């Protein structure tokens, strides 16, 4: 059965919606704000900025993160930059253009109203961050510098060296520290959310485990905000931090929150390839390298083992330049990634296991000299050398796509509230703004837009009707959720089998990478669904988790996360199977144009797929699908072409 | 490659710890140091021994979570870089490697190699920020900032908050950490209004947390993964003197 979802998008012209929505939202007066407790899970750009802003407004905020400090959230690793339509370059940028580029980049699978609002508030973010002391790059005249990024014809990206995420996060962390000092925000580091508590149909609390002591705690609040990031680690190997996980959003899903477009995963084309079976994570090499590097593989399989210098020009296939002459090596992320996979599938990949392509700077060095290349990308060459032990100036780098970002997430309406009243979801954890493919430099924009400038308006609209409705943390709903959490932990420790967590997680990752990665087809997805269920059996019958519950126990932490990934993987494959079209990062091999490009089906699939959990008593049964049709009033749907 | 390892094991903050001997065999030179520990932990698990607890997250040198002292050096021998950026090819085959947590009095050990660095957060909470309410910021380009100042502020702001500076310092001083934040914010015009209060409060909390004083050994700079220059400590001292005089003069 299929239900239809209402995103509560305000009426009126696109550029008036947010303003009129703010004008008519309910408010909470200053002296009433301290009567509300807001639970925020996650302290990255979205969670940290929301906690700092709501604290400053006078709400009592409890903010939770699993790291030892909020400053370590994975937002810190973002390199490239943050978009805004300031038009400082006088090159024709506008809010409309930023909106249009973002919605087109997402292959027309996101909401017009949300994306337009994102583009509108982006300028405020830059103002806010500069005022906080974020040391953005500047020109000699002292004004802010910009650079260009994929999917845009203007220079609108603000950056702080290759460490933009770090600097934005530290700005937001410092704002959070100020509120902690002021007593409006209470910080719970080393604390993981293990369940959502729903009372009278509203999200009113969470169950947590302190990772240092193992203590299980109950926290009641007037609203719960999830800002827990993406789930790329379901693939085991990704550019995400080791701790990033799906647990908070997945457990909210199991309590009734809808999970939207879970199969939309961004696979970034330029990462350092896997070097061995013990590799624990993948490292991104900034996309900017493709400005000067040329991507190629040998034309013939036999040449793949030869040193690259011995392969003459005529025997090299510069496949991006060949297939996409107008964009060449700067073709967008989804398309470049698929092209790399294709040549490797043909057996023409290079390096260990044949999963790699060359990124060659020899021509650029000849043209502009090694010094100029060093000036532009020196730090990236150093990172490459540290990890691979190879000198990218002397021989071509090897790169391969890797899982990087997840566009899918919990379903939210225009207010960023899920279908469960009182449960708000912000940042990468929600699904709302990037459609089927995210453009570079817009993840940071979305996280901060949600936390600084959207949630502080939409949350009070909900809270205003909730005065005095916060239940006690000792009420039966909390006790029940706590005992569920305890039962689950005990069950994991009791298995006492022979297989290590990592071996199960690795196997799951390889399976997903193969069947639900850069390209998918129905047969493979069906196979994956069978194998995921088998792996889950393996886990619950044969996993070995040592140590105690009430203790610092890293194996137990990870076991809980892997258990959730093993269920979530099934949801991803189900979603990929249901969407019988190709769009953005979701490439179904059955649906392609004659020349192998993604073939969208706007008539039947211009919609968000939001899944409702149906299992009971530990049983996993197929979830129920809800549709949110996407209405395009302003933009014209076109086939993306980069030829 | 094969290695002999001496690794600090300590069940919790209250129990005494000791170095325990392990072996790592058939390690590829392309394995990172932390991946080598992952492999060791898998082997321990297979033998039914509890894995070694150690901290890491991003594993690309930016989050500042990893915190190991290897053969007496904070973050190991491959500077600049966090321990997650250290690869086994940097070691001699057959080497004996000693692995300990960062040892600083204000960073108590939680378990094995995991330490509690919340003292660093408390230093920032004391004033390591610019008060800027969301919604009230002026237009971003309304105050031009000379490129030199912005670049210098960025150099200081690059600190990843790992605490290696304090671990390397014979005095257990967190001066480089505090100096980086104070310099970053005082180099920018937006940081000016709170300049006096910031440095006085942060230094006060730093002392109260039990960090030592700076005696110019430059060990901090040598191990800093973000290459923060020790000259920022001189800036911190100037900022502090200036603030103390201003405060003293009743300004």
Tell me the C-alpha distance between B53 and B114, whole Å: 6
Catalytic pick from A333, A348, A438, A600? Answer: A333
pLDDT at A641 over 90: no
pLDDT, position A1: 39
ipTM: 0.98
pLDDT at A595 over 90: no
Collect all residues of chain A within an 8 Å Cβ-Cβ radius of residue B147.
138-140, 142
A-interface mutation test, from B1, B24, B29, B63, most A Cβ less than 10 A away: B63
Tell me the C-alpha distance between A130 and A137, whole Å: 11
Q: Answer yes or no: do B125 and A56 touch at CB < 8 A.
A: no
For chain A, the average pLDDT equals: 94
Nearest to A177 among B78, B85, B129 (CB): B129
DSSP H or E run through A607? strand A607-612
Q: What is the tens place of the pLDDT at every residue in A80-97?
A: 899 999 999 999 999 999
Domain parsing of chain B, residue ranges: 3-114, 118-248
A19 is written with which tokens? 């303003």
Identify whether the C-beta of residue A67 lies closer than 8 Å to the C-beta of residue B57.
Answer: yes
Q: What is the tens place of the pLDDT at every residue in A414-441?
A: 999 999 999 999 999 999 999 999 988 8
In chain A, the N- to C-terminal Cα span, in Å, equals 41
Q: Answer yes or no: do B140 and A126 touch at CB < 8 A.
A: yes
B-interface mutation test, from A63, A76, A505, most B Cβ less than 10 A away: A76
Collect all residues of chain A within an 8 Å Cβ-Cβ radius of residue B38.
278, 280, 502
Q: Answer yes or no: do B35 and A160 touch at CB < 8 A.
A: no
| pLDDT tier at A260, thresholds 50, 70, 90 | very high
A 72-91 residues inside an 8 A Cβ radius of B:
72, 74, 76-77, 86, 88
Place of tokens 């039966």: A476
B-interface mutation test, from A171, A181, A274, most B Cβ less than 10 A away: A181
Tell me the C-alpha distance between A442 and B179, whole Å: 32
For chain B, the average pLDDT equals: 97
Question: Does A281 share its domain with A381?
Answer: yes
pLDDT at A618 over 80: no
Q: Answer yes or no: do B120 and A69 touch at CB < 8 A.
A: yes
Taking residues B153-157, what's their average pLDDT?
97
A44 is written with which tokens? 């990255």
| pLDDT tier at B64, thresholds 50, 70, 90 | very high
Tell me the C-alpha distance between B157 and B152, whole Å: 9
Judge whether A466 lies within some domain.
no
Q: What is the tens place of the pLDDT at every residue in A326-382?
A: 878 878 788 899 999 999 999 999 998 899 999 999 999 999 999 988 877 888 898
DSSP β-ladder status, A223-226 and A423-425: parallel
Count Cβ neighbours within 10 Å for each residue of A565-591 and write b for 16 or more, e otherwise. Answer: bbbbbbbbbbbbbebebbbbbbbbeeb
Q: Answer yes or no: do B30 and A175 touch at CB < 8 A.
A: no
DSSP β-ladder status, A37-41 and A60-64: parallel
Shortest Cα distance from B251 to chain A (angstroms)? 24
Please tell me the pTM assigned to this model.
0.97
Identify whether the C-beta of residue A93 lies closer than 8 Å to the C-beta of residue A156.
Answer: yes
Q: CB-based contact (8 Å) between A92 and chain B?
A: no
Provide the CA A351 distance to its chain's centre, in angstroms.
29
- Closest residue on chain A to B27 (Cα): A278
Q: Answer yes or no: do A133 and B111 touch at CB < 8 A.
A: no
Q: What is the tens place of the pLDDT at every residue in B163-206?
A: 999 999 999 999 999 999 999 999 999 999 999 999 999 999 99
Taking residues A450-468, what's their average pLDDT?
97
Could you give the number of structural domains in chain A?
2
Which residue, A402, A430, A446, sits at the end of a domain?
Answer: A402
B-interface mutation test, from A43, A46, A51, A72, most B Cβ less than 10 A away: A72
Nearest to A142 among B29, B145, B154 (CB): B145
CB pairs under 8 A between A and B: 212
Place of tokens 């500042």: B64
A 375-394 residues inside an 8 A Cβ radius of B:
383, 386-389
Q: Answer yes or no: do A170 and B157 touch at CB < 8 A.
A: yes
Domain of residue A540: give its range: 476-629
pLDDT, position A326: 80
Tell me the C-alpha distance between A333 and A337, whole Å: 6
Which residue, A356, A376, A402, sits at the end of a domain?
Answer: A402
How is A359-371 classified by DSSP, letter by letter?
EE-HHHHHHH-HH
Judge whether A576 lies within some domain.
yes
Note if A72 is an active site residue: no
Q: CB-based contact (8 Å) between A137 and chain B?
A: yes
Count Cβ neighbours within 10 Å for each residue of B3-24 and write b for 16 or more, e otherwise. Answer: bebebbbbeeeeeebeeeebeb
How is A202-240 classified by DSSP, letter by letter?
EEEEEEEEETTT--EEEEE-SEEEE-----GGGGSSSSS
Q: CB-based contact (8 Å) between A242 and chain B?
A: yes
Q: Answer yes or no: do A178 and B116 touch at CB < 8 A.
A: no
pLDDT, position A3: 63
Taking residues B141-162, what's their average pLDDT?
97
Judge whether A188 lies within some domain.
no
Q: Answer yes or no: do A166 and B160 touch at CB < 8 A.
A: yes
The answer to whether domain B118-248 has CATH 1.10.1060.10 is yes
Judge whether A366 lies within some domain.
yes
pLDDT, position A379: 80
Q: CB-based contact (8 Å) between A67 and chain B?
A: yes
Q: Answer yes or no: do B110 and A144 touch at CB < 8 A.
A: no
| pLDDT tier at B251, thresholds 50, 70, 90 | low
Taking residues A28-53, what's their average pLDDT?
98
Collect all residues of chain B within an 8 Å Cβ-Cβ radius of residue A173.
124
Shortest Cα distance from A640 to chain B (angstroms)? 34
Nearest to B191 among A133, A142, A243 (CB): A133
- Closest residue on chain B to A283 (Cα): B60
Judge whether A598 lies within some domain.
yes
Identify whether the C-beta of residue A284 lies closer than 8 Å to the C-beta of residue A268.
Answer: yes
Cα angle for residues B65, B70, B74 (degrees, 5° grid): 55
Nearest to B58 among A70, A74, A142 (CB): A74
How is B89-135 classified by DSSP, letter by letter?
GGS-TT-EEEEEE---TTS-EEETTEE--HHHHHHHHTT-S----TT
Residue ranges of E strands in chain B? 3-9, 18-24, 68-70, 73-74, 96-101, 109-111, 114-115
Count Cβ neighbours within 10 Å for each residue of A55-86 and write b for 16 or more, e otherwise. Answer: bbbbbbbbbbbbbbbbbbbbbbbbbbbbbbbb
Shortest Cα distance from B240 to chain A (angstroms)? 20
Shortest Cα distance from A72 to chain B (angstroms)? 5
A 142-161 residues inside an 8 A Cβ radius of B:
142-144, 160-161
Judge whether A409 lies within some domain.
no
CATH of the domain at A513: 1.20.58.100
Q: What is the tens place of the pLDDT at every residue in B18-62?
A: 999 999 999 999 999 999 999 999 999 999 999 999 999 999 999
Which residue, A402, A426, A460, sits at the end of a domain?
Answer: A402
B-interface mutation test, from A168, A280, A450, most B Cβ less than 10 A away: A280
Question: Does A482 share its domain with A622?
Answer: yes
Identify whether the C-beta of residue A543 lies closer than 8 Å to the C-beta of residue A552.
Answer: no
- Please give the CATH topology (third level) of the domain spanning B3-114: Ubiquitin-like (UB roll) (3.10.20)
Taking residues A558-577, what's their average pLDDT?
98
More confident: A148 or B199: B199
B46 is written with which tokens? 């297979």
Q: Answer yes or no: do B39 and A166 touch at CB < 8 A.
A: no
Percent of chain A with pLDDT over 90: 87
Taking residues A7-36, what's their average pLDDT?
97
Q: Answer yes or no: do A131 and B130 touch at CB < 8 A.
A: yes
Judge whether A507 lies within some domain.
yes
Place of tokens 């490239």: A80
Judge whether A290 lies within some domain.
yes
Tell me the C-alpha distance between A230 and A246, whole Å: 7
Q: CB-based contact (8 Å) between A208 and chain B?
A: no
In chain B, the N- to C-terminal Cα span, in Å, equals 64
Taking residues B122-141, what's their average pLDDT?
97
Taking residues A506-530, what's their average pLDDT?
97
CATH of the domain at A295: 3.90.700.10
């Amino acid at each position: 059965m299929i239900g239809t979802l209402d995103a509560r998008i305000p009426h009126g012209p696109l550029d008036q919606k947010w303003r009129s929505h703010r004008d008519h939202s309910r408010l909470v007066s200053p002296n009433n704000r301290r009567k509300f407790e807001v639970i925020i899970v996650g302290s990255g750009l979205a969670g940290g900025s929301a906690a700092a802003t709501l604290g400053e407004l006078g709400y009592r905020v409890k903010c939770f993160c699993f790291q030892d400090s909020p400053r370590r959230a994975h937002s810190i690793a973002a390199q490239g930059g943050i978009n805004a339509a300031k038009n400082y370059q006088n090159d024709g940028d506008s809010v409309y253009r930023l909106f249009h580029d973002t919605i087109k980049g997402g292959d027309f699978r996101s909401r017009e109203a949300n994306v337009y609002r994102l583009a509108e508030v982006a300028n405020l973010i830059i103002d806010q961050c500069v005022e906080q002391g974020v040391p953005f790059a500047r020109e000699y005249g002292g004004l802010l510098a910009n650079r260009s990024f994929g999917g845009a014809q203007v220079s609108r990206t603000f950056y702080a060296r290759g460490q933009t995420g770090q600097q934005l996060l530290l700005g937001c962390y410092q704002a959070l520290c100020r509120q902690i000092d002021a007593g409006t925000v209470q910080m719970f580091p080393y604390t993981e959310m293990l369940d959502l508590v729903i009372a009278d149909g509203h999200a009113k609390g969470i169950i947590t485990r302190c990772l240092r002591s193992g203590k299980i705690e109950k926290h009641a609040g007037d609203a719960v905000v999830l800002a827990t990031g993406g789930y790329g680690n379901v693939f085991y190997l990704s550019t995400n931090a080791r701790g990033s996980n799906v647990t908070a959003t997945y457990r909210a899903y199991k309590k009734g929150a809808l999970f939207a477009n879970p199969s939309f995963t961004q696979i970034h084309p330029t990462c350092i390839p896997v070097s061995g079976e013990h590799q624990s994570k993948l490292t991104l090499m900034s996309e900017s390298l493709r400005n000067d590097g040329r991507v190629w593989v040998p034309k013939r399989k036999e040449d793949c083992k030869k040193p690259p210098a011995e392969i003459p020009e005529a025997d090299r296939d510069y496949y991006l330049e060949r297939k996409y002459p107008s964009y060449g090596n700067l073709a967008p992320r989804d398309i470049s990634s698929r092209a790399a996979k294709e040549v490797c599938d043909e057996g023409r990949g290079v390096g260990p296991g044949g999963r790699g392509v060359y990124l060659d700077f020899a021509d650029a060095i000849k043209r502009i000299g090694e010094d100029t290349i060093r000036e532009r990308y020196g730090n990236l060459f150093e990172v490459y050398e540290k990890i691979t032990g190879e000198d990218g100036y002397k021989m071509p780098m090897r790169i391969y796509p890797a899982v990087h970002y997840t566009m899918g997430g919990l379903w939210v309406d225009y207010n960023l509230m899920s279908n469960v009243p009182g449960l708000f979801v912000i940042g990468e954890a929600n699904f709302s703004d990037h459609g089927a493919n995210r453009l570079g430099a817009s993840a940071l924009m979305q996280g901060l837009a949600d936390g600084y400038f959207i949630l502080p308006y939409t949350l009070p609209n909900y809270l205003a009707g909730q005065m005095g409705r916060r239940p006690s943390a000792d009420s039966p709903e909390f006790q029940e959720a706590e005992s569920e959490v305890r039962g689950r932990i005990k069950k994991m420790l009791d298995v006492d089998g022979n297989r290590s967590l990592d071996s199960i997680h690795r196997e799951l990752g390889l399976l997903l990478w193969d069947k639900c990665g850069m390209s998918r087809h129905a047969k493979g997805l069906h196979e994956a669904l069978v194998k995921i269920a088998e792996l889950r059996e393996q886990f619950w019958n044969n996993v070995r988790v040592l140590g105690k519950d009430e203790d610092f126990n890293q194996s137990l932490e990870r076991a809980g996360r892997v258990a959730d990934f093993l269920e979530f993987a099934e949801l991803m494959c189900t979603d990929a199977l249901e969407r019988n079209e190709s769009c953005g990062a979701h490439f179904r091999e059955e649906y392609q144009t004659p020349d192998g490009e993604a073939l969208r089906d706007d008539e039947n699939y211009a919609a968000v797929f939001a899944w409702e959990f149906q299992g009971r008593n530990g049983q996993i049964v197929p979830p129920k699908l809800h549709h949110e049709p996407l209405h395009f009033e302003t933009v014209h749907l076109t086939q993306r072409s980069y030829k | 490659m094969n290695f002999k390892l001496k690794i600090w094991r300590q069940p919790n903050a209250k129990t005494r710890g000791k170095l325990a001997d392990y072996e790592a065999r058939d390690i590829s030179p392309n394995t990172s140091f932390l991946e080598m520990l992952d492999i060791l932990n898998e082997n321990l698990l297979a033998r039914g021994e509890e894995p070694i607890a150690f901290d890491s997250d991003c594993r690309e040198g930016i989050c500042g979570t990893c915190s190991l002292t290897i053969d007496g050096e904070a973050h190991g021998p491959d500077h600049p870089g966090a321990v997650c950026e250290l690869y086994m090819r940097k070691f001699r085959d057959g080497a004996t490697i000693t692995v300990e947590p960062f040892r600083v009095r204000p960073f108590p050990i939680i378990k094995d190699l995991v330490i509690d660095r919340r003292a660093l957060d408390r230093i920032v909470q004391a004033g390591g920020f610019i008060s800027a309410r969301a919604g009230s910021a002026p237009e971003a380009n309304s105050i031009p900032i000379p490129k030199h100042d912005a670049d210098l502020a960025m150099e200081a702001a690059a600190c990843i908050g790992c605490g290696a500076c304090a671990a390397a310092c014979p005095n257990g001083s967190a001066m480089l950490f505090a100096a980086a934040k104070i310099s970053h914010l005082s180099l920018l015009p937006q940081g000016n209004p709170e300049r006096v209060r910031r440095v006085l409060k942060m230094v006060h909390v730093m002392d109260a947390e039990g960090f030592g004083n700076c005696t110019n050994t430059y060990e901090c700079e040598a191990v800093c993964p973000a290459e923060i220059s020790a000259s920022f400590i001189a800036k911190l001292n100037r900022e502090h003197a200036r603030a103390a005089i201003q405060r003293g003069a009743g300004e």
